Amino acid sequence: MADRTAVLAALRAQHIETPSWAYGNSGTRFKVFTQEGVPRNAYEKVDDAATVHRFTGVAPSVALHIPWDTVQDYADLAAHATGQGISLGAINPNVFQEDDYRLGSVCNPDPAVRQKALAHLLECVDIMDATGSADLSLWFADGTNYPGQDSIRARQERLSEALRAVYDRLGGNQRMLLEYKLFEPSFYTTDVPDWGTSYAHCVDLGSRAQVLVDTGHHAPGTNIEFIVAFLLHRARLGGFHFNSRFYADDDLMVGAADPFQLFRIMSEIVLGGGLEPANGVAFMLDQCHNIEPKIPALIRSVLNVQEATAKALLIDADALHRAQSEGDVLGANAVVMDAFNTDVRPLLAELREDMGIDPDPIAAYNRSGHFDKLRAERTGGAAAGWGA
């Protein structure tokens, strides 16, 4: 059996980052639904992230999206976060929501648009300097809709050029995480469609460029845990945008659609040493809560990642290696399934009690009356960024 004390210590040290945009109103291309009590600005999003941390104990940072979270003074926002017991995490630039980006951002055929996009990326590194953020999470909506629309090769060269300029601007403790996505908003080619493209650019750039795996960005049926194992083995797994999906990039609560997949991913992380802080794997969420209340949904998501991690930590690694080296197919599979089928809720309740928080964070939040307070205090909450 895995050592219980070591399992509890690893769970206590886990750090799951929530995204500022998950606290705002969101929807689909058909409708952005408004909810009561949602934050009206970046400061209130930080407050909500701090609430999620207070109830879970393992979500001590919040990612920002710029310009959705634009403020006058980023150092002041960082100080506000510190005062609330959390920190500002990854900075996500936005080069996909302006008319100029109709044909792309850093891959656009027009050099003036490329320049504008690059200037925004560099400005985001300035913001990281002010917030103390270590990670720049890059996602490009760039691509084409029709064969012949633009040169696939020329677009790759433009991408390389921009990535190089940003990489060279990074400070010594800062990283660049390059996110890939198979399709959407482009429907014929996407300029960073898969982990291989991201990996190749990262290798060109240097060791502080790493791949960001958003679990909703693959073709159905893709074996994401293989990608995770490969990238971790090559020291290029920068982190995750966790969410779950039934069809495309659904951005549903992580672990809701396929808890077994989340467990398989976390198993590769645990077995590959990815929980060690030195390996720098960032466990971030990237979700939208269109119809469900946001703070409880984020608490649920954090708990889902924690449960999958706990199960992965319970894998008896010695028994697994023994079965694997003996070629014992059924035995090896049974070791993994035993861990998956373990009810880890009592273990996690014990952990939370040790940490001085309620063993049932969602019930505790619902009892706290916090939402009634938000509903009374906040009127006219902001949209997350879509359809605002």
Question: Which stretches of the chain bind Mn ion, using CB under 5 A?
Answer: 214, 241, 249, 286
β partners of residue 217: none
Cis peptide preceding 185, ω within 30 of 0:
yes
CA-based max dimension of the chain: 63
**Type of residue numbered 36:** E
Alpha helices per DSSP H over 143-183: 152-169
Q: Which two tokens stand for residue 328?
A: 């014992």
Residues 190-229: x where in contact with ligand LRH by CB under 6 A, - otherwise, as a string:
------------------------x---------------
Of 269 and 284, which CB lies nearer to ligand LRH in the complex structure? Answer: 284
Least Å distance between CB 187 and ligand LRH? 14
Residue 47 interaction partner, one of Mn ion, ligand LRH, none, beta carbon < 5-8 Å per kind: none
Least Å distance between CB 130 and ligand LRH? 20
Determine, following the binding rule CB under 6 A, whether residue 287 of this chain makes contact with ligand LRH.
no
Least Å distance between CB 265 and ligand LRH? 17
What are the Cα distances from residue 353, in Å, to 174, 346, 356?
35, 11, 5
Of 114 and 241, which CB lies nearer to ligand LRH in the complex structure? Answer: 241
**Within 10 Å of residue 370's Cβ, how many Cβ atoms?**
17
Least Å distance between CB 30 and ligand LRH? 17
Determine, following the binding rule CB under 6 A, whether residue 48 of this chain makes contact with ligand LRH.
no
Least Å distance between CB 269 and ligand LRH? 20
Q: What is the Cα–Cα distance from 351 to 305, expressed in whole angstroms?
A: 15
Residue 92 interaction partner, one of Mn ion, ligand LRH, none, beta carbon < 5-8 Å per kind: ligand LRH
Determine, following the binding rule CB under 6 A, whether residue 300 of this chain makes contact with ligand LRH.
no
Secondary structure of residue 345 in the 3-state scheme: helix
Q: Which helix (H) or strand (E) holds 238?
A: strand 237-242
Site for ligand LRH in 11-40 (CB under 6 A): 21
Determine, following the binding rule CB under 6 A, whether residue 249 of this chain makes contact with ligand LRH.
yes
Look up residue 244 and give its DSSP letter.
B
Cα angle, residue 202 at apex, residues 134 and 65 outer, rounded to 5°: 40
Residue numbers of the site for ligand LRH (CB under 6 A)? 21, 92, 139, 179, 181, 214, 241, 249, 286
